[in-house]
Amino acid sequence: MNLEGQTYDSLTANFAWRIPARYNIGVDVCDKWADGSGRLALIYEDADGRATHYTFDQLKTLSDRFANALQASGAQRGDRVGIFLSQSIETAIAHLAAYKAGMVAVPLFALFGVDAIEHRLGDSGAVALITDHAGVQKIDEIRAALPKLRSVFSVDAEQDHAEPAAPVRSFWHALESASADFTPADTGADDPAIIIYTSGTTGKPKGALHGHRVLLGHLPGVEISQQGFPAHATLMWTPADWAWIGGLFDVLLPSWHHGVAVLARRFAKFDGEAAFDLLARHAVSHTFLPPTALKMMRGVERPERWTLALRSVASGGESLGEELVGWGRQALGVTINEFYGQTECNVVVSSCAALFEPRFGAIGRAVPGHRVAIVDANGNELPPGAIGDIAVAAPDPVMFLGYWRNEPATREKFRGQFLLTGDLGMCDADGFIRFVGRGDDVITSAGYRIGPASIEDSLLRHPAVSMAAVIGAPDRERTEIVMAFVVLKPGFVGDEALVREIQQHVKTRLAAHEYPREIRFVESLPLTATGKVIRKTLREGLVQDAQGPAAKN
């Protein structure tokens, strides 16, 4: 998007969507650049700092081969394919192959435990999975509960393991044995392309089903938040995992749509100094840094030690605040643009320093092409200054097709023509939208949106736990931490040893970022007449409701 000579008003007034009837993400982001020129697509840096370069030509051949391998394994158009890996060349190949074969990708966060994986693979009915040795070990525990999962490909297996109970195929052996001659599926813009599971704010996580057009719907928001991307863009990076919509559709795929190379490097544990070093060594021009990453980088002394090539930094997931934006201008040399969206309808609000000064306390203005409003409970638009639901008008190319096999939940997401984000906000007379609070019980911790339901479910699986409720408690570094209120079964003592045991139980069974960092043992929980936990009461009276020891890790 060229911002030269433009204003926000002119861009908005002149914007028009151009969504072709036939469109395939894989062909768009890979095949159209594979012209024999050797154009750089990906730099993969491993944990030891070794970098490997891949061109679009190579990606096309590799993804075509793996698309054939998927089909040879029995996967067909429309089938779901789980991708249980972090940032890597294999993750990229798997996504491209699935899209080009007309299959539906199901990305899975590499730190998920067996409960989280079982729900997502079982609910989606995935027939194939691409993972690594650590993922295979987790899958082995639940393979019997996933009867539709016929094929498991391991990226670090040197050969196939054909045990009847749990066969595992070598990803690279299957790829290299397959033909490079492949014709992509002729997909429509609305044909299903990906299922990304929500955080499970009410009940179990729901699968947000998106069509191929979702990438095109992302482009205006990415281009605005990245200062007119791809202008001046040479290399894009994010520490956000590609299993989340932010890493995948705010960085990897939009970059490749524009032919811009991406750096793949995800730290096992984010480190501010390592991030500065990586940005400097690779001369990264554009990056998406979640607020928690920015806060950790802000703690690094003398950032002027590194010579950066940054032209743009975007951030989203939490409010940045004036102090963090000011630090960014000094330490990073750019004004950080904040953006807002969610898995079902992403990057619909954004700041853009090239067009207007950020208004502190606001998350930005509606991205050109999207109509964002504040509405009441009936879907009626509210006047400036009134607090209501942040909502997006349908139809919209970035909007999900619906929740996977959950029509009631899809209907509940809408009020008239508007999709409700579930967040409360207000809009001023100039169109700047302010985030007021969450309309549900989602927890925002270290950039992750975490739902309490699956954590509570995991807690209840511990033999000592009778009842449990989870909320977000304010935390200076993480914005919020996961806090659990636990009622114990008779005969158990709520001491520090039990706290650590329960924390470890959730960490290994669910996900490392979702375990309760603070646990408080209580005699009872506040309940509605129908037995639902009143989390608002817990939030309002953390100290009064807590009984016994608490632990924070």
Cα separation, 429 vs 137, in Å, equals 55
Of 416, 401, 417, the residue nearest 206 (C-alpha):
401
User: Taking the CB of residue 481, how many other CB atoms lie within 10 A of it?
Assistant: 20
Closest to 346 measured CA to CA, from 255, 247, 442: 247
Structure tokens at 351: 């700041």
Note the pLDDT of residue 203: 64
Composition of the chain by helix, strand, coil, percent to 5: 30, 25, 45
DSSP 111-174: TB-HHHHHHHHHHHT-SEEEE-HHHHHHHHHHGGG-TT--EEEETT-SS-B--SSS-BEEHHHH
Mean per-residue pLDDT of the chain: 92
Q: Check residue 457 and give its pLDDT.
A: 76
Q: How confident is the model at residue 448 (pLDDT cuts 50, 70, 90)?
A: confident
Whole-number pLDDT of residue 406: 96
Residues 269-296: pLDDT tens digits? 889 999 999 999 999 999 999 887 888 8
CB 262 within 8 A of CB 284: no
Q: Could you give the domains of the chain?
A: 443-552 (3.30.300.30)
The pLDDT, as a whole number, for residue 210 is 98
What's the token pair of residue 337?
Answer: 């643009």
341-355 burial code (b ≥16 CB/10 A, e <16): bbbbbbbbbbbbbbb
Q: Is the pLDDT of residue 105 over 80?
A: yes
d(CA 417, CA 224): 25
Asked if residue 395 has pLDDT above 60, the reply is yes
- Assess contact for 169 and 73: CB atoms under 8 A: yes
The amino acid at residue 538 is: L
Integer-rounded Cα radius of gyration of the chain: 23
Contacts of 240 (CB under 8 A, 6+ apart): 246, 247, 250, 251, 288, 290, 447
Residue 529 pLDDT? 46
What is the distance of C-alpha 52 from the center of its chain?
A: 25
Share of the chain above pLDDT 70, in %: 94
State the pLDDT confidence band at 547, using cuts at 50, 70 and 90: very low
* Per-residue DSSP letter, 383: P
Residue bearing the bigger pLDDT, 177 or 527: 177
Average pLDDT of 119-146? 96
Q: pLDDT tens digit string along 231-267?
A: 999 999 999 999 999 999 999 999 999 999 999 998 8
Number of H helices, E strands in the chain: 18, 28
Q: How far apart are CA 335 and CA 315, in angstroms?
A: 11
pLDDT at 517: 95
Rounded-to-integer distance, Cα 273 and Cα 306, Å? 10
**Whole-structure pTM value:** 0.85
How confident is the model over 30-44, as a mean pLDDT? 98
How far does CA 308 lie from the centroid of its chain? Answer: 26
- What is the pLDDT, as a whole number, of residue 166? 62
Residue 23, CB-side half-sphere exposure with 13 Å CA sphere? 21
Kind and range of the H or E run holding 507: helix 496-509
